Amino acid sequence: MHSSKTARTILRMESKGARSQVVTGFKRIRCGNADFCRTFIVQIVLAGLAIYRLIKTIDILCNAPSFLIFNMKLITAIIKPFKLDEVHESLSHIGINSMTIYDVRGFGRQKGHTELYRGAEYVIDFLLKLKIEVAVDDTKLEEALHVISKAAFTGKIGDGKIFVSSLNEAIRIRTGESGRPAL
């Protein structure tokens, strides 16, 4: 890889009456017209800066952590507990075989419900739900969202919600793999 010293050419213009010189890090060029030399210097500097930026960009991408190259998302779905098997099977069919499941309680528009227990009426504000977290590659995101939505759908209030957030890095502890291979 080129160092920044070779990517940058140090230019300086010396005016000596009607004649000018362009001094670079490698050779001298004699110019008869000072305006032509100034234009020539500006073009060389701009070309040098463009090459320097290109080399730096390539260097950054070659040494970049995987999260800059591979876009990953974390899907968080809140669903009804009895829909877990359908969601799990649907995700398995599209090649997503790993997920994390939590038992959670909460409410949204459903606002809880009332139950009778031994003749007494109880108001249950926080309903039992399941929270599923699935890490996916960007290429499988739309398909995974469609599959989860379809499998968790009942058409009744309280079906749940799906959230998508960016995932900066994933590391498999056993092998040390990171990025897409760790999913």
Domain match, 56 and 103 both: no
Residues 29-58: tens digit of each pLDDT? 555 555 656 666 667 767 776 777 777 666
Burial of 17 by CB count in 10 Å (0-12 exposed, 13-18 middle, 19+ buried)?
exposed
- Domains held by the chain: number: 2
Cβ neighbours for 177, distance < 8 A, ≥ 6 positions apart: 171
The residue from 41, 62, 83 where one domain ends is 62
Domain match, 86 and 148 both: yes
Q: Are 76 and 132 in contact (CB under 8 A)?
A: yes
Select from 98, 87, 91, 85 the least CA-distant residue to 152.
Answer: 87
pTM for the full model?
A: 0.58
Select from 38, 42, 14 the least CA-distant residue to 28.
Answer: 14
SS3 of 120-158: the string is EEEEECCEEEEEEEEEEEHHHHHHHHHHHHHHHCCCCCC
Q: Are 78 and 161 in contact (CB under 8 A)?
A: yes
Supply the pLDDT for residue 108. Answer: 77
Share of residues in the chain with pLDDT > 70 (%): 64
Which amino acid is located at 122 in the chain? Y
What is the pLDDT confidence band of residue 21, given thresholds at 50, 70 and 90?
very low
The residue from 13, 42, 62 where one domain ends is 62
Domain match, 16 and 36 both: yes
Domain match, 76 and 143 both: yes
Domain match, 154 and 131 both: yes
151 is in which domain, residue-wise? 67-182
The residue from 44, 62, 80 where one domain ends is 62
Q: The domain spanning residue 126 has which CATH number?
A: 3.30.70.120
